[in-house]
Structure 1
Amino acid sequence: MERTSMTVVCLLVCLSFVLVKGEDPYLRFEWNVTYGTIAPLGVPQQGILINGQLPGPRINCTSNNNIVVNVFNHLDEPLLLTWNGVQQRKNSWQDGTPGTMCPIMPGTNFTYRFQVKDQIGSFFYFPTTDLHRAAGGFGAINVHSRALIPVPFDNPADDYSVFVGDWYNKGYKSLKKILDGGRTIGRPDGIHINGKSEKVGEKVAEPLYKMEAGKTYRYRFCNVGMRTSVNVRIQGHPMKLVEIEGSHTVQNVYESLDLHVGQCLSVLVTADQEPKDYYMIVSSRFLKQAELSSVSIIRYVNGKGPASSDLPAPPPENTQGIAWSMNQFRSFRWNLTASAARPNPQGSYHYGQINITRTFKIVNSRTEVDGKLRYALNGISHTDSETPFKLAEYFGATDKVFKYDLMPDQPSTPDDKVTIASNIKNATFRNFVEIVFENHEKTIQTYHLDGYSFFAVAVEPGKWTPEKRKNYNLVDAISRHSIQVYPNSWAAVMTTLDNAGLWSLRSEMWERFYLGQQLYFSVLSPARSLRDEYNLPDNHPLCGIVKTMPMPSPYKA
């Protein structure tokens, strides 16, 4: 009897040790990236598929899961995938941008490994190399809360990912030639919903989504387009906003929602109308020419009758439309009463009481250099290097690849004076910084920051001055990773640079990204410790000048 008791005790101790020391669960994926014929607007062209799909496979995971994605590149070009909005703590090696990684060469594979650490929400992946974003290659990353963390709404009957955005019929290789030739790709040809475009009255074989009467559904919208803001709405069905880019929101109800390039949000929709078909409508915003739009069918199970051709009206355009959209942005608020999967739970991180240690004021511009179109930030139009900047730092070879801080913290040159160079900004680890985006152009902008979420504290017309800080929302601004900047307006965000690595700050409007409207923040830990940043992964390919250099000493705990 005594021996049995001792055995039970030992088993319990061992089990406790395993539970304490055990890793978080792993999810493993194998993706084959290929070309395939697609026709989002009805015009066949070469697209990029993952496992034969567009949209690609969904990464459906839970906070703190370890994600392993083995990517086989069957294209005839180098390839990188980035995980838009996934913070990848201490691990910019897996960020999938040209500044951090050597590309996956044709006929080879690379295994991405990262953790969705202390995150929830709706994100997406896409290719960052060349103009591949214009060819597809995108898919969903849905991060759910762990079972012990309550969600501020009941489990929906189903969870739908909706990818929307503009599209071009020329094909991505033709678009690349246009940009390489120094010209703009111009106005898109149409709008797609999940890689398809339909018009009112068209007969469709299958609806995009189905709902059962009386049940509530979650729709995760992401704008994966090249340059166009859109408005989304569902005929006869209000949308309750519940999440934006990883943050639970105050649950306001909207008839329609603006969604800017690179942004994601979640809404709840209740099937409480007459059982029949209804249209989901996506239409362009702030284009100079006529509106572009597309629809898809949402069908009630056992419903009878086609969708009505009487569509809900889009929001206003021009100056009135900008004011409408700006006011909608201001209505978005962080849900301070909800739990969340992050180190600083919602309601406990009083960002408004932290002193700002550095302010970056960033002004975008469009100009020509040697007769070719370029885009810039504070007079620097970014260009990539054969050697990724992160590898140059790790191998101690920065002096052979780039110079830090060519771009000033504050604009100091006229908008039309531009230098083409690698744009890498030194930043201090764990500093609390303010980034102000000021847009002097007549077109809307959208920016994204890898590796972090920031507090989107203000958008306003005109030019920014320090006195404008009195208008900041310092209580419940949304913690997110992207921000829109309206024409002749500014936007301000705040964040703590507590994630060591090299991180991309970029325009999400891919023509602008491709032609220089981006930079990298280099956030180095003085300790060079594994507590702050991981070492170069063993499977990480080497390229450029570091390929023949001896491996540096690894970081230690």
Structure 2
Amino acid sequence: MGSIRRTPPSFVALPLLCLLAVANAGDPYLFFEWHVTYGTISPLGVPQQGILVNGQFPGPEINSTSNNNIVVNVFNEIDEPLLFTWAGIQQRKNSWQDGTPGTMCPILPGQNYTYQFQVKDQIGSYIYFPTTALHRASGGMGMIKVHSRELIPVPFDNPTEEHSILLGDWYNKGHKTLKRILDSGRSIGKPDGIQINGKSAKVGDAAVEPLVTVEAGKTYRLRVCNVGMKLTVNFRIQGHAMKLVEMEGSHTVQNVYDSMDIHVGQCMSVLVTFDQTPKDYYFVTSSRFFKQVLTSVATIRYVNGNGPASPELPPPPPENSGGIAWSINQFRSFRWNLTASAARPNPQGSYHYGQINITRTIKLSNSRQVVDGKLRFAVNGISHVDGQTPFKLAEYFGKAKQVFKYDLVKDEAEQGDHKVVVAPSVKNATFRNFVEIIFENKEKSVQTWHLDGYSFFAVAIEAGTWTPEKRKNYNLLDAVSRHTIQVYPNSWAAVMTTLDNAGMWNLRSEMRERAYLGQQFYFSVVSPELSLRDEYNLPVGQELCGVVKDLPRLALYT
């Protein structure tokens, strides 16, 4: 492998000056240096090649506070191009740093790139992960924690400690093997098991080290994220209830649950008071809506406890149609805590989203198709492919027509069977429009959707087919502001948001197989004024590639 290209000191300073100094000069900076390498990991007990960040899987946490400026210098020491995305972090005016193939040139092997973004007006639990190829299948992911500033009260007492738990389904095949399977036209099939913070255990296994160590009578915050490839999972703790306090950047009404469904790409925080007999207890994770139930456990250990965890696990929720109804009811119990003081993007409009007139309704239907003998996934009949030129760069330099066509994805799917088009997919959006997006799922598997650059109000999930009359069932008062939404089989989900963040933003399936094979597209949100007030210019030092590789760098916005 070639030598690592070290960043000269001026590289970090110049983009920060151009991107952040205008509005954010007084906010603290956090600096990180990451070396991404291969290393042997065994999440399910089978040694395999993993993707490590600074030698770790899961990767190191980004532990920040609202409005911090985050600077991450990533050195790519694996043998393939690499990008990281910061899922749920709303980079205002800065899709340049979003870390998707549609917005940035990849970091080539032996090179590095410095990401710069701000966690502006945000709190909560998020993840980062690689968006290139099938890299997420082999690791590279970690937790982003954004705390409230000290002057802003949090709607619960400070916990004794907090712990990050990244869990999800796992494949024993490496990312290169899985990518070859998809490229050959086949599905990667069912996962091999479930990992919890990079490990998997069964009832009765000796715990080498506990997942969490607790003191009797004290309360702990667990930040839990599903970083899997495909499956919804449920998590629960023997003998202990969980109080939900935060979900994807929003404080929630503090309901208490025995178990929680968490879909791919989602994060939530629960408070747990450990007030039982001091001994070991199991943290249990099991798959949902899947023919074969996959289960993994981890040990929670009381300090000075006496005795192993009971082999009797708390039961999972029901499955099949009853399980879907149970899960939908749990979704409906999630409410935004409107009395909490907390950072919120666009706080002036946040409280009154139900009183804003809908400007545009977009209905999106996912489908599984075979195109020229190969498996593809599509949105409204369009199966997305990435190109050699990031769409954001092509648009910025006036080369969009050479790279993609706008609006192949229509606002409503055509009825009946139609041929799927495989092409780069970018959809125009009008700046500051208030849009309603309806996700329709006519397939047999649960879907999870994510929108970069925004949070949206998850106002409804119901079985059946959406019609305008269904709006009377929307929660227009205290729906949780979040960035992912699940859609159950033969069901629909509705979200609402204001498209006020200029840039090129990815709307994708969080199932990596589906996203890789086309179930995604990009929203192009352009400010008509081309003003720095609305969007930053191309950063100094940003890599150029494809048809714009040798073009002169321009500052188009003033």
Q: How many residues are matched?
A: 537
- Work out the CA distance in 1 between the residues paired with 2:471 and 2:444: 24
Shift of 1:552: 2.9
For 2:111, the equivalent position in structure 1 comes to 108
Task: Report if the CA contact (8 A) 1:316-1:324 is conserved.
Answer: yes
For 2:369, the equivalent position in structure 1 comes to 367
Shift of 1:154: 0.5
- Work out the CA distance in 2 between the residues paired with 1:410 and 1:21: 40
- Work out the CA distance in 2 between the residues paired with 1:530 and 1:367: 42
Which whole-Å deviations, capped at 9, do the CAs of 1:59-112 have from their partners, x for residues lacking one? 000000000000000000000000010001100000000000000000000000
Which whole-Å deviations, capped at 9, do the CAs of 1:205-256 have from their partners, x for residues lacking one? 2111110011100001100000000000011110000000000000000000
TM-score normalised to the size of structure 2?
0.95
Pair 1:43-2:46 in alignment? yes
- Residues 201 and 374 of structure 1: CA distance in aligned 2, closer, same or farther (over 3 Å): same
Which of 175, 195, 209 is matched with 2:212 structurally? 209
**1:153-164 correspondence to structure 2 within 5 Å:** 153-164=156-167
- Work out the CA distance in 1 between the residues paired with 2:191 and 2:362: 32
Pair 1:28-2:28 in alignment? no
Q: What letter is aligned with 1:94?
A: Q
Name the % identity.
Answer: 74
Which of 69, 77, 87 is matched with 2:72 structurally? 69
Q: What letter is aligned with 2:210?
A: P
Pair 1:450-2:471 in alignment? no
- Work out the CA distance in 2 between the residues paired with 1:451 and 1:525: 15
TM-score normalised to the size of structure 1?
0.95
Shift of 1:539: 1.7
For 1:338, the equivalent position in structure 2 comes to 340
For 1:429, the equivalent position in structure 2 comes to 431
Shift of 1:521: 0.3
Shift of 1:419: 0.4
Which of 78, 89, 110 is matched with 1:86 structurally? 89
- Work out the CA distance in 2 between the residues paired with 1:216 and 1:299: 14
For 1:119, the equivalent position in structure 2 comes to 122
Shift of 1:271: 1.0
Task: Report if the CA contact (8 A) 2:213-2:302 is conserved.
Answer: yes
- Work out the CA distance in 2 between the residues paired with 1:56 and 1:103: 20
Which of 453, 466, 470 is matched with 1:468 structurally? 470
Pair 1:534-2:536 in alignment? yes
- Residues 346 and 90 of structure 1: CA distance in aligned 2, closer, same or farther (over 3 Å): closer
Structure number with greater Rg is 1
Shift of 1:413: 4.8
Q: Per the alignment, in what secondary structure is the counterpart of residue 125 of structure 1?
A: strand
For 2:5, the equivalent position in structure 1 comes to none
Pair 1:151-2:158 in alignment? no
- Residues 246 and 69 of structure 1: CA distance in aligned 2, closer, same or farther (over 3 Å): same
- Residues 94 and 348 of structure 1: CA distance in aligned 2, closer, same or farther (over 3 Å): closer
- Work out the CA distance in 1 between the residues paired with 2:95 and 2:348: 25
For 1:198, the equivalent position in structure 2 comes to 201
- Work out the CA distance in 2 between the residues paired with 1:544 and 1:21: 32
For 1:508, the equivalent position in structure 2 comes to 510
For 2:387, the equivalent position in structure 1 comes to 385
- Work out the CA distance in 2 between the residues paired with 1:155 and 1:358: 42
- Work out the CA distance in 1 between the residues paired with 2:405 and 2:425: 8
4+ residue segments displaced more than 3 Å? 343-348, 413-416
Pair 1:245-2:267 in alignment? no
For 2:4, the equivalent position in structure 1 comes to none
How large is the RMSD of aligned CA atoms in angstroms? 1.3
- Work out the CA distance in 1 between the residues paired with 2:248 and 2:348: 14
Q: Per the alignment, in what secondary structure is the counterpart of residue 36 of structure 2?
A: strand
For 1:14, the equivalent position in structure 2 comes to none
- Work out the CA distance in 2 between the residues paired with 1:42 and 1:260: 24
- Work out the CA distance in 1 between the residues paired with 2:523 and 2:24: 34
Task: Report if the CA contact (8 A) 2:122-2:345 is conserved.
Answer: no
Q: Per the alignment, in what secondary structure is the counterpart of residue 320 of structure 1?
A: helix
Shift of 1:514: 0.3
Shift of 1:554: 3.2
- Work out the CA distance in 1 between the residues paired with 2:72 and 2:90: 16
Which whole-Å deviations, capped at 9, do the CAs of 1:265-286 have from their partners, x for residues lacking one? 0000001001110000000000
- Work out the CA distance in 2 between the residues paired with 1:348 and 1:519: 26
Task: Report if the CA contact (8 A) 1:365-1:416 is conserved.
Answer: no
